[in-house]
Structures are given as structure tokens and as C-alpha cells.
Amino acid sequence: MLPTGFAPIPVKLPKILGEDLAGVVVEAPEGSKFKEGDRVFAGTDQFFKSGDQGGTDGEFVAADEHTVCLIPEGVSFLEAAAVPVAGLTAWQALERVFPLEGKRVLIHGGAGGVGGFAIQIAKAHGAHVTTTCSSAKVDYVSKKLGADVVIDYTKGPWEAAARESLGGERYDFVLDTIGGSYEAASLRLVKRGGQLAGVGATGPDVARVSLLGMAALLFNAGWRTLMGRLGLAPKYHFVMTESKASRGLEQIAELMREGKFKVHLDRVFPLEELAQAHEYLEQGRARGKVGILIKAMD
Ligand SMILES: NC(=O)c1ccc[n+]([C@@H]2O[C@H](COP(=O)([O-])OP(=O)(O)OC[C@H]3O[C@@H](n4cnc5c(N)ncnc54)[C@H](OP(=O)(O)O)[C@@H]3O)[C@@H](O)[C@H]2O)c1
């Protein structure tokens, strides 16, 4: 959003971009649970800060302690840096429907950052996972991420395929990372008492980022939340990701330690090619995560 020049709140320029980080602690305040030399990762909340505070696309970053978590042994800095914001988003979307044992979950955009992490979290918690992606990524989401049913949305109406895959039954939970018409269609697939969490607005029929588009998104989220609360539609919530490590990053670190959560890096760009990295991300075609290498340290 910010790289395109649009900000929903006033932003002081120049601004350093980037919300994910992984690196080594160079300085920690007295009484901190971290010390110099600790290998850490974090998702900062720089989006809401002004100027050069907190942006992670640089060699040194000041991060709030509550956002920081130790990197599990055996995980590289690049892998760790790929996790925070997408991982926290996936976790915070799913946690409301824990426990997931035996539940049927539909995750849109399974080949992307949020969707791919959500598949792994849902599988680690015992859910049956159906996901949508394009043809070239079917093998990736089934073999590498472990989705039970993969629907190639380029091959025809995904809605019918999603319904058929459960033999006409409905889903306990849908995670929609696409938005637009995906949301309305997905709500029809949620069973009574089930839920839908929305996180994104990047689908083919979603208005490009603008103040009007933002207002429409917020109005839509408010309306759907109200309908869900009144019992006139499935429960709905739009996830606004919180950067506190205790809201998902620490739990994901534990899954990584247990080998139940892996990071798949689609491409890694050097810092000098940050603009190209953003252009690539804007295409929304990544298979897993895109990394920025600032300084090799592993
Ligand atoms: N609410 C929040 O606080 C929050 C936080 C983080 C992210 N987000 C939002 O969440 C969304 C996803 O983020 P991300 O980081 O996962 O993006 P991403 O890594 O760029 O992934 C997007 C994925 O969507 C897939 N896709 C595109 N069109 C599709 C379609 N019609 N049906 C199914 N899959 C489709 C693409 O794969 P294919 O090639 O398979 O289509 C791609 O892998 C974005 O809109 C982002 O802004 C929101």
C-alpha cells in the first residue's frame, strides 16, 4: 500500500518501509528479556509511526520489545524475516476458531504468504484444509504445505468445487485473503455457527487502493460484522494484525521448533533492489514469501 504512494493515514516523509525483520540485538535496555547478540525476529508496527521510526528496510531498526521473539534454533535469518506480519495475520485469523481438531477450513490464496502460513497452522492444529490457488502452484500447496484439497481457481468456478469437495457440506471456517466477490461467495459456504475472517483486498475485482476503496472496505467489514452479530449471516471479522509477539509469533516459533511450520522463500532481493522487490510483490503472484537481504549473517 505505502510503496504505491497511498496511505490511509497521514505519513511523514521520508519514510523507511518494511515491517518484518530478523537480525541480532545490538542494544537492549536494562531489564529487557533480550540481550546483545540474541538472534531475534519481529513484526514492527511502523505503519502507524511517522518518518523513519521502525521501518525495517535498513541495517539498524528500533523495535518495541513486545514485538520481538527469539528465532528458533535451525531457522535462518532470511526464513525468520519472512514470518512475522504474514504469520501473525494467519494466526490471529485462525485463533478465534481454535481448537481446529476435525474442523473443515477453507483458505483462499494458499500460495501466498498469509494463506500458506495459515494452511500450516491449521494443519498443525488438526483441521481439514481446502485451499484455492492458480495452476502452477497446486503441487506447492498440496505437497509442501500439506493442504488436503486444492482448488485451481483458473479452471472454473471455485465455489462449486469447494462445495463438492465436502460432499455438499459447509465449512466451519473460511479465511479470505482475496476479498471482493470471494467474500460474498465464501459466506455462502460457511455453515450455521461458522465464521469467516477477512484479511485482504487484493482480488481481481477489488478496487485499487484509494481512500474510497478503503472506506468501502471498512463499511463492508462493519456491515458484515453486524449481520453476523445479529445472527443473520455467519460470524465475520476483519483481521487488523497486531504486532505483539505473544499474539502468534511466539506460538509459530514453537511450531517451527517442532518442525510443523516451514518457510518457503519465493525470491530474495538485495536491499539495492528494493523497488524491484516491491514491483514483484505488487503482482501478487508470489509462491510463499519474498525476502530482502540487507546483510548476510548466517
Ligand atoms: N488485515 C491485515 O492486517 C493484513 C495483514 C497482512 C496482509 N494483509 C493482506 O492480505 C492479503 C494477502 O497478503 P499476502 O502477504 O499473503 O499476499 P501475497 O503473498 O502476495 O499472496 C497473494 C496470493 O494470492 C494468490 N491469489 C491471487 N489471486 C487469487 C485468486 N483469485 N484466488 C486465489 N488465490 C489468488 C496468489 O497466488 P496465485 O498465483 O495462486 O493466484 C498469491 O500467492 C493482501 O491483500 C494483504 O494486503 C492484510
Is the residue at 247 inside a domain? Answer: no
Say if residue 18 is in the same domain as residue 101. no
From CA 40, how far away is CA 297, in angstroms rounded? 12
Looking at residue 96, which CATH number applies to its domain?
A: 3.40.50.720
Name residues whose C-beta falls within 8 Å of residue 13's C-beta, 6 or more positions apart in sequence.
51
Angle between helices 84-94 and 249-257 (to 10 degrees): 100
The parent domain of residue 269 ranges over 2-82+263-293
Q: For residue 293, what are the β-bridge partners?
A: 270
Say if residue 190 is in the same domain as residue 130. yes
Say if residue 196 is in the same domain as residue 287. no
From CA 25, how far away is CA 42, in angstroms rounded? 11
Looking at residue 39, which CATH number applies to its domain?
A: 3.90.180.10
Say if ligand 1 is within 6 A of residue 86 CB: yes
Q: Ligand 1, closest atom to CA 133?
A: 40
Say if residue 131 is in the same domain as residue 225. yes
Say if residue 101 is in the same domain as residue 168. yes
Say if residue 118 is in the same domain as residue 210. yes
Say if residue 99 is in the same domain as residue 221. yes
Is the residue at 248 inside a domain? Answer: no
Say if ligand 1 is within 6 A of residue 285 CB: yes
Name the stretches of the chain with pLDDT < 50: none
Say if ligand 1 is within 6 A of residue 201 CB: yes
Q: Ligand 1, closest atom to CA 85?
A: 6
The pLDDT value recorded for residue 125 is 97
The pLDDT value recorded for residue 113 is 94
The pLDDT value recorded for residue 204 is 65
| Ligand 1 geometric centre to CA of 282 (Å) | 10
Say if residue 13 is in the same domain as residue 149. no
The pLDDT value recorded for residue 182 is 93
Say if residue 68 is in the same domain as residue 117. no
Q: For the segment 93-127, what is each residue's pLDDT rounded down to a tens digit? A: 999 999 999 999 999 999 999 999 999 999 999 99
The pLDDT value recorded for residue 1 is 64
Is the residue at 252 inside a domain? Answer: no
From CA 184, how far away is CA 180, in angstroms rounded? 7
Neighbouring C-beta atoms of residue 102, cutoff 10 Å: 9
Q: How far is CA 81 from CA 71, 165, 211, 291, 292, in A?
A: 9, 35, 30, 7, 9
The pLDDT value recorded for residue 151 is 98
Residue found by looking up cell 485463533 in the block: 95
Neighbouring C-beta atoms of residue 214, cutoff 10 Å: 15
> Which of 128, 166, 171 has its CA nearest to residue 147?
128
Say if residue 62 is in the same domain as residue 171. no
Structural domain count of the chain = 2
Say if residue 68 is in the same domain as residue 104. no
Is the residue at 249 inside a domain? Answer: no
76 and 298 Cβ atoms separated by less than 8 Å: yes
- Closest C-alpha to ligand 1, atom 22: 112
Neighbouring C-beta atoms of residue 222, cutoff 10 Å: 12
Say if ligand 1 is within 6 A of residue 114 CB: yes
- Closest C-alpha to ligand 1, atom 23: 112
Say if ligand 1 is within 6 A of residue 234 CB: no
Is the residue at 203 inside a domain? Answer: yes
Q: CA Rg, the chain, in Å?
A: 19
Q: How far is CA 52 from CA 9, 19, 48, 75, 166, in A?
A: 16, 12, 11, 29, 49
Is the residue at 124 inside a domain? Answer: yes
Q: Ligand 1, closest atom to CA 108?
A: 33
The pLDDT value recorded for residue 215 is 81
The pLDDT value recorded for residue 45 is 78
90 and 123 Cβ atoms separated by less than 8 Å: no
From CA 1, how far away is CA 213, in angstroms rounded? 12
Q: Ligand 1, closest atom to CA 289?
A: 19
Is the residue at 57 inside a domain? Answer: yes
